[in-house]
Amino acid sequence: MKIYNTLTRKKEEFKPIEEGKVRMYVCGPTVYNYIHIGNARPMIIFDTFRRYLEYKGYEVTYVSNFTDVDDKIIKAAIEENTTAEEISTRFIKECKKDMADLNIKPATTNPLATNEIAGMIEMIETLIEKGYAYAAEDGTVYYRTRKFDGYGKLSHKNIDDLEAGHRDIKVTGELKEDPLDFVLWKPKKEGEPYWESPWCKGRPGWHIECSVMAKKYLGDTIDIHAGGEDLVFPHHENEIAQSEAANGVPFANYWMHNGFLNINNQKMSKSLGNFFTVREIGEKYDLQVLRFFMLNAHYRTPLNFSKELMDVAKNSLERIITAAENLKHLSGVTEKEDMTGEENELFEQTELFVKKFEAAMDDDANTADAVASVFEFVKFANSNASAESSKAYLEAMYQRLFTLCDVLGIIVERKQEILDADIEKLIEERQMARKEKNFARADEIRDTLLEMGIVLEDTREGVKWKRA
């Protein structure tokens, strides 16, 4: 299996640190709002890669954090007149719901930055002792960027070129020894959450959080570190500088980064009005469609999102689900039990599609080609399965299709259709719950209906509903 390593800019044969085991860290979201579809791309991509590693027999320890202390969280808390903890707790819950709807497997561990402050202080103290960090007069602790010889090796940036000023790294401040030094610990401002430290009451810088959480849950050196390409610099570059200076060993052997997601060929932004949350997309499509759409492109390439492309993905996914349903239906009605010699030969032919699927995934997780091999399997199954086929053959065909789709995180069993009368009954119950100010139950009913593909719209004329 080969992985394109951002560090070396080439595909490399994957060799785990420990035989049969993979330690993988994926940077998670900052939880101040619902996750958007740009957040969803790395979640889907690296969940799929994790599933493939497990399919190959690896035991995967998969760690993905939640950044639950950050300027954006504090800003949201001030705007809502509540606490940063309330904001982060609420949106961690909402994020986990969206991830479940995208069929993303729960991480082995989802560490919270706020639970790991002691480890961050400890690593900062180590960096100060080793001369890689220093405390300024106001209690801010900075990392001496120039002291780390390998700085720039991931982003392939020359540190001297950075002197001109890259806005992501160059922070103005008279207390810094060098304009390129970045923050490890910062003093609190009025009304902000803070923790006691040897330097001041304050909170950690963003970069130190992932270095500490990766070390605690995976070790000093990990197999794979992954995330969006926007994190290469400065976040992942700074993680390397911190971790390798503190621990004295390489931080991660393989670095994987997914490409950007554009909306109708434009960068996604609130100002352009093309910013979509996963929850909003879930009101228009089953989120399996969003997942399938994401898998139809190679993860390192930019991906363009549009209604037209989502509709194509929806129709394509329908072909796979229909084929699976047909196999299941036929196995339930056939009167023949045992596989014939001819059927055995046909089933053996499907091994070719499995090999194509594995070859695609072994080649830097090429999900686009893996999906193509699934379609070849579907075409073959549609042409070589009927009510005359045996139960053993049909079940074997279904299981093989199910297994390949499961690696991609695609659910081939269609959700049970809900009757109109049952929908009306649940809407009536929701209205009653709202009148009684039982908003938790009202939200629960809305979520239940949404899971069944029913979208509600509250209007002046009452509640309207439609099937997604």
Q: How many structural domains are present in the chain?
A: 3
**CATH number of 182's domain:** 3.40.50.620
Establish if 264 belongs to a structural domain: no
pLDDT, tens digit, 9 for 90 and up, residues 46-96:
999 999 999 999 999 999 999 999 999 999 999 999 999 999 999 999 999
Q: What is the mean pLDDT of the chain?
A: 93
Pair (334, 228) in one structural domain = no
Establish if 354 belongs to a structural domain: yes
pLDDT at 269 over 80: no
Pair (244, 112) in one structural domain = yes
Q: What's the rounded mean pLDDT across residues 100-106?
A: 97
pLDDT at 369 over 70: yes
Per-residue confidence band for 266, with pLDDT thresholds at 50, 70 and 90: confident
Q: What's the rounded mean pLDDT across residues 211-222?
A: 98
Pair (367, 458) in one structural domain = no
Question: What Cα–Cα distance (Å) separates residue 461 from each residue in 342, 345, 403, 452?
Answer: 62, 61, 47, 24
Q: How many CA atoms lie within 13 A of 458 on its CB side?
A: 7
Q: What's the rounded mean pLDDT across residues 174-198?
A: 93
Contact status, residue 228 vs residue 200, Cβ threshold 8 Å:
no
Determine which of 46-50, 218-222, 384-388, 446-450 has the lowest per-residue pLDDT on average: 446-450
pLDDT at 134 over 70: yes
Pair (35, 172) in one structural domain = yes
The pLDDT of residue 313: 97
Query: b/e per residue, 159-184, with b = 16+ CB within 10 A?
Result: eeebeeeeeebbeeeeebeeebbbbb
Please give the residue range of the domain that contains residue 441. 420-467
The pLDDT of residue 418: 66
Dist CA 405 CA 353 (whole Å): 12
Task: From 253, 409, 413, 437, select the one nearest 327 (Cα to Cα).
Answer: 413
Contacts of 260 (CB under 8 A, 6+ apart): 38, 228, 229, 230, 267, 302, 303
pLDDT at 164 over 60: no
Pair (374, 337) in one structural domain = yes
Pair (369, 429) in one structural domain = no
- Burial group, residue 221, by CB count within 10 angstroms (0-12, 13-18, 19+): middle
Identify the helix (H) or strand (E) that includes residue 375: helix 367-383
Establish if 267 belongs to a structural domain: no
Q: Which of 407, 435, 453 is the last residue of a domain?
A: 407
Interhelix angle 367-383/391-407, nearest 10 degrees:
170
pLDDT at 395 over 80: yes
* Helix, strand, or coil (residue 287): helix
Dist CA 239 CA 260 (whole Å): 21
Contact status, residue 166 vs residue 153, Cβ threshold 8 Å:
no
Contact status, residue 408 vs residue 377, Cβ threshold 8 Å:
no
Per-residue confidence band for 170, with pLDDT thresholds at 50, 70 and 90: very low
The strand pairing partners of 456, in sequence order, are 465
Q: What's the rounded mean pLDDT across residues 202-223?
A: 97
Backbone angles phi, psi at 263, to 5 degrees: -115, 115
Q: How far is CA 19 from the centre of its chain?
A: 26
The pLDDT of residue 173: 53
DSSP string, 22-69: EEEEE---B-SSPPBHHHHHHHHHHHHHHHHHHHTT-EEEEEE-BB-S
pLDDT, tens digit, 9 for 90 and up, residues 105-124:
999 999 999 999 999 999 99
Pair (289, 237) in one structural domain = no
Is the preceding peptide bond at 234 cis, omega within 30 degrees of 0? yes
The pLDDT of residue 174: 61
The pLDDT of residue 167: 45
Question: Contacts by 378-387 with C-beta closer than 8 Å and gap 24+?
Answer: 378/319, 378/320, 378/323, 380/349, 380/350, 380/353, 381/323, 381/326, 381/327, 381/350, 382/323, 382/326, 384/346, 385/326, 385/327, 385/330, 386/330, 387/330, 387/333, 387/334
pLDDT, tens digit, 9 for 90 and up, residues 411-468:
998 766 666 778 888 888 988 888 888 888 888 888 888 877 788 888 877 888 887 6
Q: Which of 258, 288, 319 is the last residue of a domain?
A: 258
Pair (157, 222) in one structural domain = yes
Pair (230, 158) in one structural domain = yes
* Helix, strand, or coil (residue 141): strand
Dist CA 228 CA 223 (whole Å): 17
Q: What's the rounded mean pLDDT across residues 383-398?
A: 96
3 state SS for 186-225? EECCCCCCCECCCCCCEEECHHHHHHHHHHHHHCCCEEEE
Torsion angle in degrees (nearest 10) through CA of 442, 447, 450, 451: -140
pLDDT, tens digit, 9 for 90 and up, residues 285-313:
999 999 999 999 999 999 999 999 999 99
* Helix, strand, or coil (residue 454): strand
Pair (114, 151) in one structural domain = yes
**CATH number of 350's domain:** 1.10.730.10
